[in-house]
Structure formats: structure tokens, C-alpha cells
């Protein structure tokens, strides 16, 4: 005869496991890839994490691919076709029902049949969006001046080092210094001085492109590193900067930006960066004396 008590215990255990799986903050799955693609098991937590109906994922086996970020679809396809290293986690972006993408870290385990053919993948997916966001913030903080949004001195110096030691390219350097920051601070307060620094930074950002590194080097000093350039282009950038400042000052006559600018150029960057920087810095001070 069947032991009813054992059946009840087993049923309770199954219910408990099912409850744990469905209430997990992670998405637990078993995805069959052969003979046809479909979910054999998908935890109900997919609804809480991504907002998508559990039934919809069962009804449409390709739904997960349709809601992956376009740049990550190939990763999912490799996971389902056995063309990946299953000893490593997979990080992809999945679209939430609200339209935003979440960063998901997947720990897949391949399932093979007796002949060694991949027949399924099971695993656990975890929302790591907050972790990625924090890492991006930390990455930003290590390379940017938080006050202005420009690159910081450390990043600027690192780029100079790369140009000097490894990447041989024509380079230009522009060094700028605010002439009237102390006057603004003394006359109107440091809040106005801070605003002057921010406004100057915003003007410099108008010159930004992939070949330029624009940084705040100190309190009122700024630098522009131009890679793969010509002397004509460096001079032209200085002219554009003067034009931008002139337009700004015409519109803000009570709060002028007075910027001394020096530039230098070299046909080669290897072992020449220090000299280029010194020449640009010297030319900036020459311009400062001329502006007095």
C-alpha cells in the first residue's frame, strides 16, 4: 500500500520549493533548445523583475530574445547554441515592461543528452542594474571633474602619458587660465566665482569631439589635448574659442569671461609632450601679460 504520510511530506516539500523559487528575487529558468526552443521552467519572479507575463514567456519561446537589447541578442544566441564558455557569467540587457533596460547577470549551465548534444540551458538571472550604475558612477568620478563635468587632471595627465610613450601622433595643446576669477570672488563672492568656472567649462565643451580631451587642470586652469591634428587646426580651435567667449561676453556684459590662451603643436608626440606642454603654458602667460 502507498504510504500516504510520505506522499504528503513530499507534496509539502514540493510546495515549499515552488514557493521559494517563485518568491526569489532572481529569475530561475530551464530553457530547452532542442528539439524545439521553449521554457520548460521559468520562475514567476520574471513578472516582478521585468514586468512581463509569465504565460507570455511560455507561449512565445522567442520572447526573451525579442526583449533583449539589440547589442546583446548575439550573446543570448550563443548561450542557446553552445557557442560560449559556460564557466563564466553572461551580462546582458533586458527590456522591462516600462521600456527601460535592466542589466542582468546570468549564470547558465548547459544540459547535454547522452550523445553530448546540447538540449537545454538552465540557470539563474540576477538584476545587477544598481551595481552597474554604481560602477559607472565610480568610473566617471575617476576621470571627471565633478564640479564642471570636464575631464580631471589625472585623466588628462594619463592621456598625455599615452601620447608621449606609446601612441605616436601629431598633437596640439591649448592651456587656458581665467584672468578675473580672483576679482569676481573678491567682489561678488565665491558663488559667482564658481559660476564663472562652470560657464567657462560649458563654453569649452562646445569644442568637444572624439579627438579632443578637455580638462580642468586646477582651480581656474583648463587644458585641451588635440590628437591627430595639424598646427592649422590647433590655431583654428583657439580662434573659435575666442569667438565663443566674445559672443558670451556680448550677452553677459556684467559677468565677463577673461581667458588667457596659449597653444603649442608637435608633428610627433613620442617623447615630446613635456616640451609641448611647457611651450603652450609659456604662450598662455605671454597672452596673460598682453591682456593686462
With b for 16 or more beta-carbon neighbours within 10 A and e for fewer, the 197-231 pattern comes to: beebbebbeebeeeebbbbbbeebbbbbbbbebee
List strand residue ranges (DSSP E) for 15-158, in order.
27-32, 38-42, 90-95, 101-112, 118-127
Where among 83, 98, 128 does a domain terminate?
128
CA atoms within 13 A on the CB side of 173: 28
Instruction: Assess whether 97 and 19 both reside in one domain.
Output: yes
**Residues 160, 212: Cα–Cα separation, whole Å:** 12
pTM: 0.75
Residues 78-99: tens digit of each pLDDT: 999 999 999 999 999 999 999 9
In a domain, 52, yes or no: yes
Does residue 179 lie within any of the structural domains?
yes
Whether residues 12 and 115 share a domain: the answer is yes
Sign of CA dihedral 200, 182, 156, 130: negative
Residue ranges making up the domain that contains 64? 4-128
User: Cell triple for residue 269?
Assistant: 608626440
CATH code, domain with 266:
3.30.70.270
Give, for all 292 residues of the chain, the pLDDT tens digit. Answer: 446 555 555 556 656 656 656 667 899 999 999 999 999 999 999 999 999 999 999 999 899 899 999 999 999 999 999 999 999 999 999 999 999 999 999 999 999 999 999 999 999 999 999 999 999 999 999 999 999 999 999 999 999 999 999 888 999 999 999 998 888 888 888 898 999 999 999 999 999 998 999 999 999 999 999 999 999 999 999 999 999 999 999 998 878 899 999 999 999 999 999 999 999 999 999 999 988 7
Could you tell me if 236 and 150 lie in one domain?
A: yes
| 25 Rama sector, left if φ>0, alpha if ψ -120 to 50, beta otherwise | alpha
Tell whether 15 is covered by a domain. Answer: yes
Residues 44, 28: Cα–Cα separation, whole Å? 9
One domain for residues 105 and 212: no
Which distant-in-sequence residues (6+ apart) come within 8 Å of 292 by Cβ? Answer: none
Report the b/e string of 120-137 with b at 16+ CB within 10 A. Answer: bbbbbbbbbeeebeeeee
Q: 133 φ, ψ to 5°?
A: -60, -40
Residue 62 forms part of a structural domain: yes
CA distance 144 to 19: 47
- For residue 186, being part of any structural domain is answered with yes
In whole angstroms, give the CA distance from residue 74 to residue 80. 10
Alpha-carbon distance 258 to 116, whole Å?
73
Task: Report the half-sphere exposure of 29 (CA within 13 A, side-chain side).
Answer: 25
Amino acid at each position: 500500500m502507498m504510504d500516504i504520510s510520505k506522499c504528503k511530506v513530499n507534496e509539502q516539500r514540493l510546495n515549499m520549493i515552488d514557493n521559494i523559487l517563485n518568491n526569489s528575487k532572481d529569475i530561475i529558468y530551464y530553457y530547452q533548445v532542442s528539439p524545439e526552443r521553449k521554457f520548460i521552467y521559468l520562475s514567476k519572479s520574471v513578472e516582478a523583475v521585468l514586468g512581463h507575463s509569465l504565460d507570455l514567456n511560455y507561449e512565445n519561446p522567442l520572447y526573451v530574445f525579442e526583449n533583449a537589447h539589440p547589442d546583446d541578442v548575439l550573446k543570448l544566441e550563443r548561450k542557446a547554441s553552445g557557442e560560449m564558455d559556460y564557466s563564466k557569467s553572461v551580462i546582458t540587457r533586458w527590456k522591462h515592461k516600462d521600456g527601460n533596460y535592466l542589466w542582468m547577470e546570468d549564470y547558465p549551465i548547459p544540459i547535454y543528452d547522452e550523445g553530448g548534444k546540447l538540449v537545454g540551458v538552465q540557470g539563474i538571472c540576477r538584476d545587477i542594474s544598481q551595481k552597474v550604475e554604481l560602477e559607472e558612477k565610480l568610473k566617471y568620478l575617476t576621470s571627471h571633474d565633478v564640479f564642471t563635468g570636464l575631464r580631471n587632471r589625472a585623466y588628462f595627465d594619463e592621456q598625455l602619458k599615452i601620447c608621449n610613450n606609446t601612441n605616436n601622433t601629431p598633437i596640439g595643446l591649448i592651456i587656458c587660465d581665467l584672468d578675473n576669477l580672483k576679482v569676481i570672488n573678491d567682489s561678488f563672492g565665491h558663488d559667482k566665482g564658481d559660476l564663472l568656472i562652470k560657464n567657462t567649462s560649458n563654453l569649452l565643451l562646445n569644442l568637444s569631439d572624439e579627438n579632443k580631451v578637455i580638462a580642468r587642470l586646477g582651480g581656474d586652469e583648463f587644458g585641451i589635448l588635440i590628437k591627430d591634428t595639424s598646427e592649422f587646426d590647433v590655431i583654428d580651435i583657439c580662434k573659435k574659442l575666442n569667438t565663443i567667449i566674445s559672443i558670451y561676453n556680448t550677452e553677459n556684459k556684467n559677468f565677463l569671461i577673461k581667458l588667457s590662451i596659449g597653444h603649442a603643436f608637435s608633428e610627433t608626440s613620442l617623447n615630446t609632450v613635456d616640451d609641448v606642454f611647457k611651450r603652450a603654458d609659456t604662450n598662455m602667460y605671454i597672452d596673460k601679460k598682453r591682456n593686462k
